[in-house]
Chain A
Amino acid sequence: MTKTYNFSLTLVLALVFTLFLPWWGVMVAAFMAGAIVRLRNVSAFFVPFLAITLFWIVYAWVLSSSNDFILAEKIAVLLPLKGNVFALFLLTGIIGGLSAGVAGVFGNQVRAVFSQQNS
């Protein structure tokens, strides 16, 4: 249950923060979600990771598909991913997910320290 809660909260906060923050708004979102909704062990990383990976892939897909993936095909050569557009979506998701996951872990640790002090 807390996993779903954290997942949803990360997504909502990410949507809100990136309206006015740069790309690292997703990190702030994952950090806060992690601090509010504590997760155990590896899920502290993987839940925000999945949330933002999904968010970025879906968002990128929406932007790119409406333009026939013209730029995605070129960036997939530039980066270099041998022109594989799916690899580019995957990379985009992982970069977003990774930063969110790490921020989520940090949020959890802050929460852990503070709850310990409070108790």
Chain B
Amino acid sequence: MKWFKLILSGLLCIGLGIALNTKLGQIPPLGKFLSPQAGVWQNEDSGMGDAIENLEGLSAPVEVFYDEALIPHVFAQNDQDLYRTQGYLTARHRLWQMEFQTHASAGRVSELIGTDGIEYDRGQRRKGMIFGAEKALETMKEVPGLEALLVAYRDGVNSYISQLEPADYPVEYKLLDYVPEPWTLKKTALLLMYMSDMLSGGDHDLEFTNFVKKYGKERFDLLYPDFYDVNDPVIPAERDWSDWEVEVPSVSEGDFPLDFTANTMDKPHPDNGSNNWAVGPGKSKTGNAILANDPHLGLNLPSIWFAMQLATPEKNTFGVTLPGAAGIVIGFNNHISWGVTNATRDVKDWYKIKFQDDKREAYWHDEQWKPTTKKIEEIVIRGGEVYYDTVVYTHHGPVSYDHSFKGNEQQSGYAMQWTGHLGGNNQQAFLELNAAKNYDEYEAALQYFVAPAQNFIFSSTEGDIALWIQGKFPNKWKGQGKFLMDGTNPEHDWQGFIPQQHNAHVKNPERGFVSSSNQHPTDPSYPYYVFNDGYDTYRNRVINDFFRSKEKFGVQDFQDLHNNNYNLKAAELLPHLLEQIDRTGISADEIDVLNELSQWDFYNDLDKVGATMFERWWTRLRVMVWDELSSDSLELDFPFTYQTVYMLKNHPDNEFMDIVETDEVETAPDLILKSFKEAMEDLETIESRRGNLKWGDYKGTFVAHLLPGVSAFGRYNLPIGGNGGIVNATSRNHGPSWRMIVEMSSPPKAYAVYPGGQSGNPGSKYYDNMVDTWAAGNYMDIQFMQKASDSEKMIFIQTINPKP
């Protein structure tokens, strides 16, 4: 009996120990997770480390000053010490995020979450994310001295990781029950690929091909024009290009393959974009150039940005960094300031590949069979066996779509050609910008920047303002890359690139300001082929009209414009809807809504009910116009917003206005009435659920933790106006991820904020402390320290000594 009890209690004891040490489904290993010695209780910490620390590999002591927003201001004696310290401090505050983002980039999510991650991981591998990162790493190693700086950054991160006990791991590791791995140079390259994919990973080629095959070229050109009937481009239309000698390849005679594709890979968020603008001395109240930037990205915690000041005796730069990459990405120094918006150019094309046989070891190109290469991707799955995926490569790039991935034909596939695979050196571009002192050095720094193409805005204390649309752009013949291309025809290959000097740019334009907001880069006079790949058509006009509206501008004007909620789409569409709607037999409730709408001032402010009413009406109307496309089994993209509005106003009898499901033939006025009735029902539901129709409550903006489903670590129902397509581009879970305004006085004066906090630890009071400031449209006064002795506003001083 005693033995029986012994064995029973022994089994119970060991069994319970193991159970509480194991992650069961979504439940973290509760013993480990809740133990005060090693679990989450250890993450109840808002700290910044010790006042004196040691770091291996430093050549001299580094001083770190934390301000009240937990922004570290780092003063080092040389670049190697600077970037080593950057890596060390970034790891302290953002370790989990920096590793998670590179895992996501490399298609390694299954390692953390199991089989649910396989489709995503396969997609990342098939996009050639690792292939692109390896190419970028090769390019980075070509620049003398750069590798040593990246090694210093890497070692700084690893010095931090190696002194951690399991109790110190960020809370997400404890939640998912895994451990951090060492940082590598490849991870830095993978992070930059993650950004490339986010900002230049989209295209519509296969969807457009579906459309053309189904509806013909004439309808395509009407719905997806190269240029809209309005255009206020990034480079002012006055810019004259006639002094350039330009060669554009001649249009290929060969046909495009007309394939139907049922499923395409997930695309980056269509609102990924940004605003930037700058006024020169002539348009500035103080006579100093002023520059602003706000990149619009998914709103997440930990925030994509980590603010820092990075100083050595040679340079002193403030701005935001990307956790995982060295230097400042958007910011300013004592001489220049710069910012970016996405150039939204079509830099990703698809080729239909004809394989010799089911082995896919050769493909037909230029009248001969050429060998493929194969890359076997190993996807490690948590709690499962390794998944192997063979990705075939041609000279274009990876064959993303084939018999095993969203396709079914043994002997064909679609290969991707993408500037993301060219091996850019964005890292070098950033480091040179950090140290640039004038326009020429800014221009020289940009040449390293390949993808994702960006509109780099610039201003300097010397009073220059400029804007370069920078990236490596294939020099395309008219029509090239809009649709799936013929992978057997060498004329369909990219024929070369637009020379660096011919990337569209402007310096000190007569109008006294420069701006960009993802609109068309140029007007049709730009000698290279550019077509509309989803350009903004609303924010750009509001911004440019604002700067044309008066003579002089100051910082307050810039803040007002960041927070401008004017809905130009509504201003252009709503009066037409109100005029066209058939009011016979309309109910009293409906009249009330129409009256409310006609009194609305087109501002998507927090308390405006008109904004909610319009949004519901527009959403219903848009879906009704393009019902043909959404009900199709093929993947088809809706025409862009501006053209939808254009069609409603100018082609009310177009065949697409008809609703397929019904027997009668509808025209635009019918849709306007029907969609209004549907919107009325939506509004009733919303009002009964929330008690009001105020825009801010309806929109319910939130900032979510990077891990899906962990709502406890997010911030919800934030009181902020705006929407996609509005200068304050804050939609539900997307918007300005960093707002910066810099006046180029000496020294520069800056105001900035982002929807997050410096600490990545949900247990820190600095995790989300800027969110409310951001939502309210306010800014922090940036403490741009001129020297290490200016420390009176700092809350914590840390000295990091070389490890003896």
A-side residues, CB < 8 A to B, are 18, 22-27, 31, 56, 59-60, 63-64, 66-72, 74-75, 77-78, 91-92, 95-96, 98-99, 102-103, 105-106, 108-110, 112-113, 116
Query: For residues 1 through 30 of chain B, which have their beta carbon under 8 Å from a beta carbon of chain A?
Result: 2-3, 5-6, 9-10, 12-13, 16-17, 20-21, 30
CB contacts (< 8 Å) of A99 on chain B: these are: 16-17, 20, 31
CB contacts (< 8 Å) of B21 on chain A: these are: 22-24
Q: Please tell me which stretch of B495-503, B609-617, B757-765 contacts chain A, meaning at least 4 of its Cβ atoms lie within 8 angstroms of it.
A: B757-765
Q: Please tell me which stretch of B32-40, B266-274, B409-417 contacts chain A, meaning at least 4 of its Cβ atoms lie within 8 angstroms of it.
A: B32-40
**Given A78-B713, A106-B9 in contact, is the A95-B41 Cβ separation under 8 Å?**
no
CB contacts (< 8 Å) of B763 on chain A: these are: 67, 70-71, 74
Assess whether A60 is in contact with B41, with CB atoms less than 8 Å apart.
Answer: yes
Q: Is B43 an interface residue (CB 8 A)?
A: yes
Return the 3 tightest CB-CB contacts between A and B, nearest first.
A71-B763, A23-B35, A59-B36
Q: How far apart are the CA atoms of A106 and B314 in the complex, in Å?
A: 67
Assess whether A74 is in contact with B34, with CB atoms less than 8 Å apart.
Answer: no
Q: Is B166 an interface residue (CB 8 A)?
A: yes
**Given A56-B36, A78-B712, A102-B9 in contact, is the A67-B44 Cβ separation under 8 Å?**
yes
Q: How far apart are the CA atoms of A75 and B171 in the complex, in Å?
A: 10
Q: How far apart are the CA atoms of A9 and B26 in the complex, in Å?
A: 36
Q: Is B580 an interface residue (CB 8 A)?
A: no
Q: Shortest beta-carbon distance, A4 to chain B, in Å? A: 23
Q: How far apart are the CA atoms of A113 and B762 in the complex, in Å?
A: 49
Q: Is B588 an interface residue (CB 8 A)?
A: no
Most-contacted residue by chain A among B32, B41, B166 (CB, 10 A): B41
Given A23, A71, A77, which contacts B44 in the complex, CB threshold below 8 Å? A71
Assess whether A106 is in contact with B35, with CB atoms less than 8 Å apart.
Answer: no
**Given A24-B31, A99-B31, A113-B2 in contact, is the A66-B9 Cβ separation under 8 Å?**
no
Q: How far apart are the CA atoms of A78 and B712 in the complex, in Å?
A: 5
Q: Is B46 an interface residue (CB 8 A)?
A: yes
A-B contact count (CB 8 A): 124
Q: Mark interface residues in B691-733 (1 if CB within 8 Å of A CB, else 0).
A: 0000000000000000000111100000000000000000000
CB contacts (< 8 Å) of B32 on chain A: these are: 22-23
Q: Is B557 an interface residue (CB 8 A)?
A: no
Given B37, B44, B767, which contacts A64 in the complex, CB threshold below 8 Å? B44
Given B36, B37, B38, B45, which contacts A67 in the complex, CB threshold below 8 Å? B45
Q: How far apart are the CA atoms of A23 and B41 in the complex, in Å?
A: 12
Instruction: Name the residue on A nearest B18 (C-beta).
Output: A24
Q: Shortest beta-carbon distance, B74 to chain A, in Å? A: 25
CB contacts (< 8 Å) of B9 on chain A: these are: 102, 105-106, 108-109
CB contacts (< 8 Å) of A60 on chain B: these are: 34, 36, 41
Q: Shortest beta-carbon distance, A51 to chain B, in Å? A: 14
New A-B pairs, 19, CB < 8 Å, besides A92-B34, A103-B13, A106-B9: A18-B37, A22-B37, A23-B31, A23-B38, A27-B13, A31-B13, A64-B41, A66-B44, A67-B44, A68-B765, A70-B763, A74-B763, A78-B713, A95-B35, A96-B31, A99-B20, A102-B16, A106-B10, A110-B10
Q: Is B261 an interface residue (CB 8 A)?
A: no
B-side residues, CB < 8 A to A, are 2-3, 5-6, 9-10, 12-13, 16-17, 20-21, 30-32, 34-46, 166, 171, 175, 710-713, 761-765, 767
Q: How far apart are the CA atoms of A69 and B44 in the complex, in Å?
A: 7
CB contacts (< 8 Å) of A109 on chain B: these are: 2, 5-6, 9-10
Q: Shortest beta-carbon distance, A43 to chain B, in Å? A: 15
Assess whether A22 is in contact with B712, with CB atoms less than 8 Å apart.
Answer: no
**Given A70-B44, A70-B763, A113-B2 in contact, is the A27-B17 Cβ separation under 8 Å?**
yes
Instruction: Name the residue on A nearest B8 (C-beta).
Output: A109
Q: How far apart are the CA atoms of A9 and B13 in the complex, in Å?
A: 19
Given A59, A92, A98, A110, which contacts B16 in the complex, CB threshold below 8 Å? A98
CB contacts (< 8 Å) of B20 on chain A: these are: 24, 95, 99
Assess whether B712 is in contact with A23, with CB atoms less than 8 Å apart.
Answer: no
Given A26, A63, A112, which contacts B2 in the complex, CB threshold below 8 Å? A112
Q: How far apart are the CA atoms of A23 and B36 in the complex, in Å?
A: 8
CB contacts (< 8 Å) of A63 on chain B: these are: 36, 41-42, 44
Instruction: Name the residue on A nearest B175 (C-beta).
Output: A78
Most-contacted residue by chain A among B16, B38, B43, B45 (CB, 10 A): B16
CB contacts (< 8 Å) of B34 on chain A: these are: 56, 60, 91-92, 95-96
Most-contacted residue by chain A among B42, B175, B712 (CB, 10 A): B712
Q: How far apart are the CA atoms of A26 and B32 in the complex, in Å?
A: 11
Can you list 10 A-B contacts (CB < 8 A)?
A: A23-B38, A23-B39, A63-B42, A63-B44, A71-B763, A99-B17, A103-B13, A106-B10, A109-B2, A112-B2
Assess whether B31 is in contact with A95, with CB atoms less than 8 Å apart.
Answer: yes
CB contacts (< 8 Å) of B2 on chain A: these are: 109, 112-113, 116
CB contacts (< 8 Å) of B712 on chain A: these are: 74-75, 77-78
Q: How far apart are the CA atoms of A71 and B16 in the complex, in Å?
A: 26
Q: Shortest beta-carbon distance, B761 to chain A, in Å? A: 8
Q: Shortest beta-carbon distance, A39 to chain B, in Å? A: 13
CB contacts (< 8 Å) of B764 on chain A: these are: 70
CB contacts (< 8 Å) of A31 on chain B: these are: 13
**Given A63-B42, A96-B34 in contact, is the A71-B171 Cβ separation under 8 Å?**
yes
Instruction: Name the residue on A nearest B714 (C-beta).
Output: A74
Q: Shortest beta-carbon distance, A113 to chain B, in Å? A: 5
Assess whether A59 is in contact with B37, with CB atoms less than 8 Å apart.
Answer: yes
Q: How far apart are the CA atoms of A64 and B712 in the complex, in Å?
A: 17
CB contacts (< 8 Å) of A68 on chain B: these are: 765
Q: Shortest beta-carbon distance, A90 to chain B, in Å? A: 11
CB contacts (< 8 Å) of B710 on chain A: these are: 78
